[in-house]
Amino acid sequence: MTTRLKIDRGRYIGALGAGVICDNIPGLVNKQRQLCQRHPDVMQSIGRGSREWIQECQHQFSHHRWNCSTVDRDHTVFGRVVLRSSREAAFVYAISSAGVVYAITRACSQGELKICSCDPHKRGRASDERGDFDWGGCSDNVNYGIKFAKAFVDARERAVRDARALMNLHNNRCGRMAVKRFMKLECKCHGVSGSCVLRTCWLAMADFRKTGDYLRRKYNSAVEVTMNQDGTGFAVADRGLRRPTKNDLVYVEDSPDYCLRDKAAGSLGTSGRVCSKSSSGTEGCEVMCCGRGYDTTRVRRVTKCECKFKWCCAVECRDCEETVDVHTCKAPRHANWLDQT
Ligand SMILES: *[C@@H]1O[C@H](CO)[C@@H](O)[C@H](O)[C@H]1NC(C)=O
């Protein structure tokens, strides 16, 4: 992905100058370019962080026809996703916004950025359900991450006012807030033999997986909307549906089935995808291959087996070879599917 590479090359920012870096990231709107030029170090963190949220997206959808790789290949990190305004686009906007918050916040705590550091408001005494404690150490400054992510990521949607922009802004916010939702208080006990009469605590972000799992659930329950008549907000697309809350993902267009390759719809198709013969779920061959059938190949695999614990402290295993059947979806039979690539 060119964008990522170019941001990574920002490591040489000193030699190249922020102007060159920022001019070489495709798809930035003016406001984003300005932010980039003012804060090239933040841009580096965002770029490095993009690998993580793309991986998380692919993890969440590894057993689905849509597996998040359109994002990997065609998406310019901050550009409009080719997924139009589907449920999948809603997820990508949310998780990428969350990823930007996460990356910036972490960089702040690690002292990598000029403009931020640990949360300066977490000072003095406070209390939780277990009693009083002193703020200490480094609390992750998630509010700063949220603020910057909002300014930077949302800038793209501020240029236009249509249903899609409204949808993106809404989902971006969901993603940003998801990170904050999983902040946790971590503490160290002091006092006589760990009696914990004195505690020092700090707020820390949870593993990004928590945010990924949460947004994945939000994807499942996403609500289809249309724009209301004055263009200021959403109306539910179908009278029977519930109204979305601030924390629901929303989308305006139905998704394709992702069975066939259709670049315009952001679908790579499922031919060649590995599927599970025994499952009737989304990873099962019937669903994954859209009824086209699958090929089976026999492969040899080396695994660790007969592992023994050796005193002390090692585990010794033997290498065992096993043969397993790997099933992969057949390509569509019609010759014209090639035309769509
Ligand atoms: C996702 O699916 C596409 C198309 O079927 C495949 O080429 C790609 O390797 C898959 N990506 C991941 C991360 O599994």
Widest CA span in the chain: 77
218 and 297 in a single domain? The answer is no
Cα–Cα nearest to 295, from 267, 274, 278, 324 = 274
On the question of pLDDT at 282 being above 80, the answer is: yes
Burial call 106-121: b when 16+ CB within 10 Å, e when fewer:
bbbbeebbeebebbee
C-alpha distances in Å from residue 187, one per residue of 121, 167, 196: 17, 39, 10
The answer to the question of residue 64 being in a domain is yes
The reply to whether 159 and 292 lie within a common domain is: no
Question: Is residue 71 included in any domain, yes or no?
Answer: yes
Tell me which of 2-6, 61-65, 279-283 is least confident: 2-6
Tell whether 113 is covered by a domain.
Answer: yes
Which residue has the CA at smallest separation from atom 5 of ligand 1?
270
In ligand 1, the atom with minimum distance to the C-alpha of 268 is 4
What pLDDT does 241 receive? 78
Residue 19: what pLDDT? 65
Residues 247 and 294 reside in one and the same domain: no
Do 172 and 277 belong together in one domain? no
Query: Does some domain include residue 194?
Result: no
Q: Which amino acid does the sequence have at 268?
A: L
Amino acid at 189: C
Q: Tens of pLDDT along 270-280?
A: 999 999 999 99
Collect all residues with Cβ–Cβ distance below 8 Å to 16 and sequence separation of at least 6. 9, 10
Domain range for 225 is 2-119+142-182+205-256
How far apart are alpha carbons 204 and 216 in whole angstroms?
22
What is the whole-number distance in angstroms between the Cα of residue 273 and the centre of ligand 1? 7
108 and 242 belong to one structural domain: yes
Please report, rounded to a whole number, the percentage of residues in the chain having pLDDT higher than 90. 60
Range from 82-96, 206-220, 248-262, 317-331 carrying the lowest mean pLDDT = 82-96
How far apart are the C-alpha atoms of 164 and 179, rounded to whole Å? 23
User: Dihedral (C-alpha) 251, 256, 258, 263: value to the nearest 10 degrees?
Assistant: -90
Nearest CA to ligand 1 atom 4: 268
Residue 110 lies in a domain: yes
Let me know whether 37 and 85 are in one domain. yes
**128 contacts: CB under 8 Å, gap ≥ 6:** 185, 201
Same domain, yes or no, for 238 and 286? Answer: no
Q: Is residue 278 part of a domain?
A: yes
Taking the C-alpha atoms of residue 108 and residue 310, their distance in angstroms, rounded to an integer, is 43
Domain of residue 327, CATH code: 3.30.2460.20
The residue contributing the CA closest to ligand 1 atom 11 is 69
Q: What's the rounded Cα separation, in Å, for the pair 281 and 272? A: 18
Closest atom of ligand 1 to CA, residue 62: 14
Measure 260 CA to ligand 1 centroid, in angstroms: 13
pLDDT greater than 90 at residue 12? no
Asked if residue 132 belongs to a domain, the reply is no
Of 47, 60, 37, nearest to 9 (Cα)? Answer: 47
Task: Say how many Å lie between the CA of residue 172 and the centre of ligand 1.
Answer: 25
Residues 84, 25 within the same domain: yes
* Whether 60 and 32 share a structural domain: yes
Provide mean pLDDT across the span 132-143.
Answer: 95
Using CA atoms, how far apart are residues 139 and 184, in angstroms rounded to an integer?
10
Beta bridge partners of 125: 134
Cα(191)–Cα(16) distance, rounded to whole angstroms? 52
- For a ligand 1 pocket test, name from 72, 88, 273 the mutation site with the most ligand atoms within 8 angstroms of its C-beta: 273
pLDDT at site 9: 36
CA-to-CA dists, residue 5 to 24, 45, 54, 61, 299, angstroms = 10, 13, 14, 24, 34
Please tell me the distance from the alpha carbon of residue 186 to that of residue 13, in angstroms, as a whole number.
Answer: 35
How many angstroms is it from 114 CA to the middle of ligand 1? 38
- 149 neighbors 97 (Cβ within 8 angstroms): yes
Same domain, 222 and 328: no
Question: Which residues share a beta bridge with 328?
Answer: 274, 295
Q: How many domains does one find in the chain?
A: 2
Query: What confidence score (pLDDT) does residue 18 get?
Result: 64
323 domain-assigned: yes
Q: Which residues line ligand 1 (CB under 6 A)?
A: 58, 62, 67, 69, 268-270, 272-273
**Axis crossing angle, helix 142-158 with helix 163-181, rounded to the nearest 10:** 170
CB atoms within 10 A of CB 269: 21
Please give the Cα distance from 67 to 69 (Å, whole number).
6
Clarify whether residues 46 and 176 are in a common domain.
yes
Which residue's C-alpha comes closest to atom 2 of ligand 1?
67
Residues 6 and 52 in one domain: yes
Lowest mean pLDDT among 37-41, 229-233, 265-269, 329-333: 229-233
Q: Is 311 left (phi over 0), alpha (psi -120 to 50) or beta?
A: beta
Q: What is the pLDDT of residue 191?
A: 79
Residue type present at position 139: S
Tell me, in angstroms, the distance from the centre of ligand 1 to residue 336's CA.
Answer: 21
User: Lowest-confidence range among 6-20, 43-57, 136-150?
Assistant: 6-20
pLDDT, tens only, 108-128: 999 999 999 999 999 999 999
